Structure 1
Amino acid sequence: MVNTIGRKFSITSFGSSHGKAIGAVVDGCPANLPLSEEDIQIELNKRRPGTSSVTTPRNESDQVQILSGIFEGKTDGTPIAGVVFNKDQHSKDYSMFKDTPRPGHGDYAWMEKYGNYDYNGGGRGSGRVTIGHVIGGAIAKKLLKTRNIDIVAHVTEIGNIKSKEHDFDTIKENVEKNVVRCGDLKAASEMEELILSKKAEGESVGGVVEVIAKGIPAGLGEPVFGKLDGEIANILMSIGAVKGVEIGRGFEVSNLVGSQNNDEYYIENKKVFTKTNNSGGIIGGMSNGMPIVARIAVKPTPSISKKQDSVNICEMENEKISIKGRHDPCICPRVTVVAESSLAIVLADHMLQSGFIHPSNLDKQ
């Protein structure tokens, strides 16, 4: 099982939904980065359950403890281990799924591949394991801030409701003002209503999350293998609920002609820019200095209370199931910080690979 991502800056994730704890070991962070538990906690609070009517009521504080890698308030270049202990598991809610895989979940594939599968809360396959992503991403974001790189993610679509806000600074301000974490406050209100209506029906709803990074230097990534957009797509697709990734205008470019799609260059104050950003800040597998823009398609939460068809794999019989327990009616709001974290991890890794950040000591650059 692969639980590590990254070359110079790597994250090894561990733990399961109803296990004792979840966390991550972050390796490759240079020494002398000021870092505290509070820096990581701020990010974890954005994905914490039980914070609004549009999230699961599971009551977890998700308090992080840093076990290593910090000396006198700064990183010391050694692996940073962060852990969050689970405190509000209701494993009894999942006993009926021991032999009956839930539609839309990875249960059946896990059973077939590993045999010994922790079905409680989805075990290692639960969205709760993204705590590890966020621990690593919090450190990556703080590292990128030393090079004036900023990242924000926002919900752009829920069902057929779409955000109309595109300004980076407005989005960054507005996502903190609504429970859906949408950059458009009017759309956010409509999205919240839709989510709650689906929740009342015993249903769920999906959507689209966009993540943007600005301040990126040109030259991150590789032209063949190790393309920056390929690695961004890889980590974003590794978020459990994600079923599609677009960079820039994505699938829309298939309906354009070359002159519409090409990003033309111009010079201003002796710096190179592009008139448009259809490529999403990446061309030829490498960053071009424009903002990096990626979107992810997030599926509806598969855990719904409506009756669904399944099977009992021990008795080899058809069954009907209804999923109880505590689940998000829409995963998108809590996915935003996971998307930010994922992009930050890849960018931090490539900043180190390309020499924009000193690999061992921040004070030397």
Structure 2
Amino acid sequence: GHADLAWYLKFGRLYDFRGGGRASGRETVARIAAGAVAKMILRQVLGVEVSSHLVELGGVAIGRDSYTFDEVVKAWEKPLPMVDDEAVKRAVDLLIKTATEGDSVGGIGEVLTTEVPPGLGEPVFDKLKADLAKAIMSIPSAVGVEFGDGFRLARMRGSEANDQIRLRDGRPRLETNRVGGMLGGMSIGEPIRLRVAFKPTPSVRKPQRTVDLERMEEVTIVFKGRYDVSTAPKAILAAEAMTAIILVDHSIRAGLIPRVIKK
């Protein structure tokens, strides 16, 4: 489940696998630090805020379809960043139970922004949506990403999936924002919303089949070191950071943020 096999097949014995090596989630510390700066720039220059939360952990999902941006921000004051208090309790109980079993669970996180200026991204190459997807999928434990209502749109009819366009404050605005704030890969002045699926932590205290590279034979191992029951509560912060970084990058390209910010 770790990236050891891929790195070994590409780089051979030059790869240091200890602690997950270069593929460890620890590398996201630098991303989160850069993301904190990016969030500050977005807030001070454009008035755009970025936050995140968990919508599901180990199969325990929040029981709400709608919530405010402020509720998402305040969710981080809880033991787990979920807007549903009952879901928090059930998820905490699940984590404790899973830890005693020596296993792990995955989760689904959501990144939200306030209204993003329209026009970020290009029509074909360098689409904002494509760059966000690439950035999110570069996070070690990320296995899927969707924007707005995402895969649920595939099960709808066009009349249901369409975001009706209305005039609000003198300009066209979406009534529902099912597309997650982007059309044609470009921002349209709406909040951006995306969800990320994170796989369970590969390190578990249960017998696992693998290959001994010294003797080139199949063996069974049991992990004995420290491990996270779920990386999702941490990984969603990396997704939040990457979203902020990409938004700053595209805002600079669009001339909305200067390349050099002076006091």
Q: TM (normalized to structure 2)?
A: 0.95
Report the equivalent of 1:166. Answer: 67
Give the alignment of 1:107-122 within 5 angstroms: 107-115=4-12, 116-122=14-20
Conserved in 2, the CA contact under 8 Å of 1:305 and 1:324? yes
- Structure 1 or 2: more helix by fraction: 2
Secondary structure of the structure 1 residue equivalent to 2:136: helix
Report the equivalent of 2:205. Answer: 305
Confirm whether residue 321 of structure 1 aligns to residue 221 of structure 2.
yes
Secondary structure of the structure 1 residue equivalent to 2:166: strand
Confirm whether residue 137 of structure 1 aligns to residue 38 of structure 2.
no
Conserved in 2, the CA contact under 8 Å of 1:247 and 1:293? yes
5+ unaligned residues in a row in structure 2: which ranges?
Answer: none
5+ unaligned residues in a row in structure 1: which ranges?
Answer: 1-103
Distance (Å, rounded) in 2 between the aligned partners of 1:357 and 1:291: 18
Deviations 1:316-360 (A, max 9, x none): 111001111111101111112111101001000001010111122
Report the equivalent of 1:155. Answer: 54
Secondary structure of the structure 1 residue equivalent to 2:28: helix
* Number of residue pairs matched by the alignment: 259
Give the alignment of 1:210-289 within 5 angstroms: 210-289=110-189
Which protein, 1 or 2, shows the higher relative CO under an 8 Å CA cutoff with sep ≥ 6?
A: 2
Residue 158 of structure 1: how far off its partner (Å):
1.1
Match of 2:192 among 292, 303, 328: 292
RMSD across aligned C-alpha pairs, in angstroms?
1.2
Conserved in 1, the CA contact under 8 Å of 2:53 and 2:75? no
Distance (Å, rounded) in 2 between the aligned partners of 1:303 and 1:179: 23
The amino acid of 1:130's aligned partner reads T
Conserved in 2, the CA contact under 8 Å of 1:179 and 1:333? no
Q: Percent identity?
A: 39
The amino acid of 1:171's aligned partner reads V
Distance (Å, rounded) in 2 between the aligned partners of 1:109 and 1:269: 52
Residue 128 of structure 1: how far off its partner (Å):
0.3
Secondary structure of the structure 1 residue equivalent to 2:193: strand
Residue 135 of structure 1: how far off its partner (Å):
1.4
Confirm whether residue 331 of structure 1 aligns to residue 231 of structure 2.
yes
Report the equivalent of 1:199. Answer: 99
Distance (Å, rounded) in 1 between the aligned partners of 2:237 and 2:51: 8
Secondary structure of the structure 1 residue equivalent to 2:29: helix
Conserved in 1, the CA contact under 8 Å of 2:115 and 2:192? no
Residue 362 of structure 1: how far off its partner (Å):
4.7
Deviations 1:227-250 (A, max 9, x none): 111111101000000100001111
The amino acid of 2:105's aligned partner reads V
The amino acid of 2:55's aligned partner reads T
Match of 2:76 among 170, 175, 183: 175
Distance (Å, rounded) in 2 between the aligned partners of 1:179 and 1:240: 23
Distance (Å, rounded) in 2 between the aligned partners of 1:301 and 1:250: 25
The amino acid of 1:285's aligned partner reads G
